[in-house]
A and B are shown apart, each in its own frame.
Chain A
Amino acid sequence: MKVPILRGVKTVNNFNRITKILTALGVALAASACTTINVDHVRLQDDISLSKGDAMVVLGRHQTPEIQTEASLVACIGGKLRSGTTDIRIIPEAEFVNQFYPWFEARTAPLRPEKLRKVMREPLVAKKLNDLNIKYFVWVEGSTERTASAGSMTCSIGPGGGGCFGFGTWEDTSDYETTVWDVDTFEEVGRVSTEAVGTSYMPAFVVPIPLLAQVEGDACQGMGKQLVEFFSRSASNKLKTIK
């Protein structure tokens, strides 16, 4: 009768020890699953004039099958600008592209400010831009890609249950460039470049524990903050700083 009790205590002790080891491993890996970001910012014009009721649009570049800026990142940067502003309207990409169809499609979108001038010669386009009070275009180009991966993991399932064993790690790299065009002068007024590298880990001991580096999200945070600062340097606008 004593043997099963002793076995039970031993099992509990082992389970506690394994839990502690896993927790320590998880904490250690979580601390290391981080992202390194480098944000460069070039200001080409000091006078950024934005006032109450003005609007901006954040658009992703999709001009070739290789250049496909993620819609999620474009929406994220738009969200950062929206939360960092009080009186400036940020028009969502899909809404803008649909309203201005076919002038800002992957194949037809202007690649340089001079081309925007030509598109603006379309009376209907010029009128609509004017009606919406759009002052600046923020173009985002780049992508997040997997640049390295290592490790292996095996998962199996059987009548008694299933589980995964192993360890995987991978590195994601984000490389984005944001350019700001002034609609009134048809000139590029600023540029924000971001490079972010993050390593994620996935140890698996029965249950896989993903310790993910939010590379795209961190790149968005870095760029968004820089863009808000870029526009907030103008005395006339009403921007507040992102915390």
Chain B
Amino acid sequence: MNNIKIERLKKYKAVRFKVLGLLLMVSLLSACANKVTVVADIPTPLVEKVPLNVHMSYTDEFKNHIYIENEKSRSLNSLNFAQAQQDMFDAIFGQLTTLVDAQSVSKDLTIEPEILDFQYTAPAETKLKQYEVWIKYRLKILGSDDAKVADWTIKGYGKTPTALLTSATKAFNSATNIALRDVGAQLATRFAGQRKIKALIDTKSGSQNSLAKNTALDGGESEDEVLEKAEFYQQQTENEPESANESANIEGGEDSE
């Protein structure tokens, strides 16, 4: 009888160790995000369309970009946000402008985004209870004759507190989405106000006055309102908050870096 009891006790202990080991392994695995694929969650921007026909040009490198972590000790193995970033650019410029094919005769601009840098931090590295993501893009803006109109360097930042999330995968997905959303917000609010773009819009519309008349006919806005709006865009560009200073520079024909 005693032997049977001892055997049962041994079995019970073995099972308990296995369960504890499994729990420990699961908790360790949940702290690492091996391969993360980001799913875009960018709302449709509430902005008025500018009278420009834009072709979005995505290089193969951009379309297939996957961030691969070379440091084995870090939290992430790879982060695939290729489709998410393409969805973001399509959502923003699709609402802000009229998207056309590369061969379209009515094409005014070609915009080719390029990833300049991607960085991240995780709680295991910083001892802070948050995941952070930085993404830096350069937008090459070309005219209808494919001549360079401008380069626009823009950065996005996303941060997610750990308290809200159940896994590192969700945290990286959320922080990357917030960073993409940040990039999209800057594009949507500043694109039409940028000097070169604004000049192009004015040129295409003939003059600011004719634009006012056309808009008044289309949307019921008065000439004064349109001029006021143009002034607002100008002010917005001039009065960027300090935190945004590092985020956007557009220089005609030159790399702003």
Q: Inside 8 A of A111's CB, which chain B residues have their CB? A: 241
14 A-B pairs, CB-CB below 8 angstroms? A63-B241, A65-B132, A72-B163, A99-B46, A100-B46, A101-B188, A105-B181, A105-B185, A106-B182, A108-B186, A118-B232, A122-B46, A123-B48, A159-B17
Contact A125 B244 (CB under 8 A): no
Contact B20 A102 (CB under 8 A): no
Q: Inside 8 A of B189's CB, which chain A residues have their CB? A: 102-103, 108
Contact B186 A107 (CB under 8 A): yes
Closest-CB distance, A103 to chain B (whole angstroms): 7
A65-B157, A107-B247 are contacts. A125–B46 as well, Cβ < 8 Å? yes
Closest-CB distance, A147 to chain B (whole angstroms): 16
Among candidates B159, B184, B241, B247, residue contacting A102 with C-beta atoms closer than 8 Å? B184
**Range for the number of chain A residues in contact with chain B:** 20 to 34
Interface of B: prevailing SS: helix
Interface of A: prevailing SS: loop
Closest-CB distance, A10 to chain B (whole angstroms): 26
Docked complex: A54-107 residues within 8 A CB-CB of B: 63-65, 68, 70-72, 98-103, 105-107
Docked complex: B219-246 residues within 8 A CB-CB of A: 219, 221, 225, 228-229, 232, 235-236, 241, 243-244
CA distance A99 to B45 in the complex (A): 8
Q: What is A's interface to B at a CB cutoff of 8 Å?
A: 63-65, 68, 70-72, 98-103, 105-108, 111, 118, 121-125, 128, 157, 159
A64-B243, A98-B43 are contacts. A122–B48 as well, Cβ < 8 Å? yes
Closest-CB distance, B203 to chain A (whole angstroms): 23
Closest 3 CB pairs of A and B: A102-B185, A101-B43, A105-B185
Among candidates B46, B157, B188, residue contacting A128 with C-beta atoms closer than 8 Å? B46
CA distance A63 to B241 in the complex (A): 9
A107-B185, A107-B247 are contacts. A101–B45 as well, Cβ < 8 Å? yes
Q: Given A65-B132, A118-B235, 11 other A-B contacts at CB below 8 A?
A: A70-B161, A72-B163, A99-B43, A101-B45, A101-B188, A102-B45, A102-B46, A102-B47, A102-B185, A108-B189, A121-B232
CA distance A65 to B20 in the complex (A): 38
CA distance A158 to B45 in the complex (A): 57
Closest-CB distance, B24 to chain A (whole angstroms): 10
CA distance A64 to B246 in the complex (A): 13
Q: Name the residue among B157, B185, B229 with the largest chain A CB count within 10 angstroms.
A: B185
Closest-CB distance, B48 to chain A (whole angstroms): 6
Query: What residue of chain B has the Cβ atom nearest to residue A111's Cβ?
Result: B241
Closest-CB distance, A186 to chain B (whole angstroms): 14
Closest-CB distance, A114 to chain B (whole angstroms): 11
Query: What residue of chain A has the Cβ atom nearest to residue B159's Cβ?
Result: A65
Number of interface residues of B (CB under 8 A): 35
Closest-CB distance, A20 to chain B (whole angstroms): 31
Contact A101 B185 (CB under 8 A): yes
CA distance A174 to B189 in the complex (A): 34
CA distance A36 to B145 in the complex (A): 68
The yes or no answer to B105 lying at the interface (CB within 8 A) is: no
Contact A105 B182 (CB under 8 A): yes
Query: What residue of chain A has the Cβ atom nearest to residue B91's Cβ?
Result: A101
Query: What residue of chain B has the Cβ atom nearest to residue A125's Cβ?
Result: B46
Q: Inside 8 A of B47's CB, which chain A residues have their CB? A: 102, 122, 124
Q: Inside 8 A of A157's CB, which chain B residues have their CB? A: 20
Q: Inside 8 A of B225's CB, which chain A residues have their CB? A: 121
Docked complex: B33-51 residues within 8 A CB-CB of A: 42-48
Q: Inside 8 A of A108's CB, which chain B residues have their CB? A: 185-186, 189
Q: Mark B196-232, 1 if CB is under 8 A from A, else 0.
A: 0000000000000000000000010100010011001
Contact A102 B188 (CB under 8 A): yes
The yes or no answer to B13 lying at the interface (CB within 8 A) is: yes
Query: What residue of chain B has the Cβ atom nearest to residue A117's Cβ?
Result: B232
Q: Inside 8 A of A107's CB, which chain B residues have their CB? A: 182, 185-186, 241, 243-244, 247
